[in-house]
Amino acid sequence: MSVTARPDSQDMRTWAVSARELVKVYGAGETSVTALRQVSVAFASGTFTAIMGPSGSGKSTLMHCLAGLDTVTSGSVLLGDTELVGLGDKQMTLLRRQRVGFVFQAFNLLPTLTAAQNITLPLDIAGRRGADPAWRDRVIDTLGLRDRLGHLPSELSGGQQQRVACARALITRPDVVFADEPTGNLDSRSSGEVLSFLRMSVHELGQTVVMVTHDAAAASYADRVVFLRDGRRTDEMTEPTVERVLEALKTLER
């Protein structure tokens, strides 16, 4: 894979993932939709960032481009030192498998596998590459799943299933975990649990999490919130609180 200089080489922080002047146009001609307009944004290693904005503002598109799930129209995406734009399909598949973790709104666990088997599935797919029993134990304990390992997804609550999905995303020690509305299917108590665990995975395990959400309460668990509107980056906020996020969203939707 190609190695490229970081976009902010004078900055001492390490960027887990960054985008430069990202443009994404769906379709062509009169019916084309421009979902991202020159978006530049960087996510530091070991931080928890929420991406927020009105429906249709480009949140999911940005996440998909950063995670190598979708191609970009122009601009650059660096995952660590690897430029994603121009990578071949095979390299992209490997990179998604080994260097990126995903948590979706629908937990997407395999119903016939136990919690433990779901968690280690990414390692099994990679032929056990990167298996590290000490890391596995830390992830399981951090996510409070020790006494649930032998259960099937159908025997777990929604919150527990999403914690298994988080553990599965973390098991390969990815450069970044991307979460798209991870609490969208959970009640407020389970949401709080999952968000606390995501935050712990950042602050105690040193992982990097980028989460798309429209929920101010969820965003308040993050270290930083990046706002989008009409495919552009507008504002950002550090140490968000529910009240400040709601206020910022009101301004965005005005």
Ligand X SMILES: Nc1ncnc2c1ncn2[C@@H]1O[C@H](COP(=O)(O)OP(=O)(O)O)[C@@H](O)[C@H]1O
Number of residues that bind ligand X (CB under 6 A): 12
User: How far apart are alpha carbons 165 and 150 in whole angstroms?
Assistant: 15
Binds ligand X by CB under 6 A, chosen from 56, 75, 130, 144: 56
Q: Which residues pair with 22 in a beta bridge?
A: 39
Binds ligand X by CB under 6 A, chosen from 61, 114, 161, 191: 61
CB 236 → ligand X: shortest distance, Å? 16
Binds ligand X by CB under 6 A, chosen from 39, 47, 50, 59: 59
Using alpha carbons, select from 52, 55, 65 the residue that is nearest to residue 26. Answer: 65
Under rule CB under 6 A, residue 55 binds ligand X: yes
Contact between 114 and 150 (Cβ < 8 Å): yes
Using alpha carbons, select from 33, 32, 36 the residue that is nearest to residue 23. Answer: 36
CB 35 → ligand X: shortest distance, Å? 3
Q: 3-class SS at 237?
A: strand
Binds ligand X by CB under 6 A, chosen from 20, 43, 47, 53: 53
For Mg ion, the closer of residues 60 and 108 by Cβ is: 60
CB 230 → ligand X: shortest distance, Å? 9
Under rule CB under 6 A, residue 58 binds ligand X: yes
Using alpha carbons, select from 216, 170, 175 the residue that is nearest to residue 197. Answer: 170
Among the candidate windows 15-23, 51-59, 114-122, 171-179, which touches ligand X by CB under 6 A? 51-59
Sheet containing 82-83, strands listed edge to edge, beginning at the edge strand earlier in sequence = 33-44, 15-26, 74-79, 82-83
Q: Give me Rg for the CA atoms of the chain.
A: 18
| C-alpha distance from residue 43 to each of 52, 79, 208, 223 (Å) | 15, 10, 8, 11
DSSP string, 104-141: -SS----TTS-HHHHHHHHHHHTTTTT--HHHHHHHHH
Q: Are strands 209-212 and 176-180 parallel, antiparallel or unpaired?
A: parallel
Among the candidate windows 48-56, 102-110, 133-141, 240-248, which touches ligand X by CB under 6 A? 48-56
CB 55 → ligand X: shortest distance, Å? 4
Give the per-residue contact string, 16-45, with ligand X (x = CB under 6 A; - = no). ----------xx-----x-x----------
CB 37 → ligand X: shortest distance, Å? 11
CB 185 → ligand X: shortest distance, Å? 16
For ligand X, the closer of residues 52 and 115 by Cβ is: 52
By the criterion CB under 6 A, which residues form the site for ligand X?
A: 26-27, 33, 35, 53, 55-61
